[in-house]
Structure 1
Amino acid sequence: MELVFEFARILFFCFAGELCHALLPLPIPSGVYGLLLLLAALRFGVVRLHQVRRAALFLTGIFPVLFVPAAAGVMELWAELRAMLLPAVLALVPVTVLVMAVSGRVTQHFVQRKERPHV
């Protein structure tokens, strides 16, 4: 039964994100609002990690399955997408390398910051 309440807590933040998206005139997806609200709630102790941990681990565990319908849709449209393949690859490869490099540097920064003794 606790797992149901964990999902309910996560769903609350999803709905709060939808509400923010409907009310605020910013081009930010509702999922991002929901994640930011959940992050703030975790950071400020409104929600404790153990109150959402099992449901979150379950959701991240099945995350690849959620991409199956999108991948099937891409396969259906392959003939139309083939013409855009070269421009897409030329755009995606450098952006992917850039994202990996920036993510790695940010991770290194936080790991080094955590290892330093706090004065």
Structure 2
Amino acid sequence: MKYLKQLMIILIAYFLGVIIQVIFNLPIPGTVLGLIFLFLALSFGIVKTEMIEDICEVLISHMSFLFIPAGVGLMTSFDILKGKVVAFSCIILISTFIVWIVTAYVVKFLRKVCSK
């Protein structure tokens, strides 16, 4: 029952993000808005980390399993990707590099802010 309560907190944030995205027709995905809402709830103390800690550990430990649908989706799209392997590979490499850089600067910024 504990896991169900914790999962409901995460799902409420997710559904809130999806509802806001649909109502206001925003270009940001509802899942991202849900993550932002959950982050804000954690930041302002509305949701305590202890309230979702156990289910987060379960989800993180099974994260590789959660990527299976995305992998299957890619496998079913091989016909679309045929002939575009070089472009697709370049996009993957460039976007990965950009994510690394942005993550590094965000961590650097947060360390600076949190150490004050």
The count of residues paired between Structure 1 and Structure 2 equals 116
- Alpha-carbon deviation of 1:30? 0.9
Give CA-to-partner distance per residue, 1:55-91, whole Å, 9 cap, x none: 1221122222122122123224334423110111222
CA distance in 1 between counterparts of 2:34 and 2:82 reads 35
- Alpha-carbon deviation of 1:112? 4.0
CA RMSD of aligned residues (A): 1.8
Kindly indicate whether residue 92 of structure 2 is the aligned counterpart of residue 92 of structure 1. yes
CA distance in 2 between counterparts of 1:62 and 1:77 reads 25
Letter in 2 for 1:67: F
- Alpha-carbon deviation of 1:40? 0.9
Q: Which runs of 5+ in 1 are unaligned?
A: none
Alignment match, 1:78? 78
Letter in 2 for 1:41: A
Alignment match, 2:11? 11
- Alpha-carbon deviation of 1:47? 0.9
Alignment match, 1:34? 34
Larger radius of gyration: 1
Alignment match, 1:22? 22
Alignment match, 2:51? 51
Q: Which runs of 5+ in 2 are unaligned?
A: none
Where in structure 1 do 4 or more consecutive aligned residues deviate above 6 Å?
none
Alignment match, 1:68? 68
Percent identity at matched positions? 26
Give CA-to-partner distance per residue, 1:16-70, whole Å, 9 cap, x none: 1121112113111111111111111111111111001111221122222122122
Letter in 1 for 2:50: H
Describe the shift of the 1:16–1:92 C-alpha distance in structure 2 as closer, same or farther (beyond 3 A): same
CA distance in 2 between counterparts of 1:58 and 1:66 reads 12
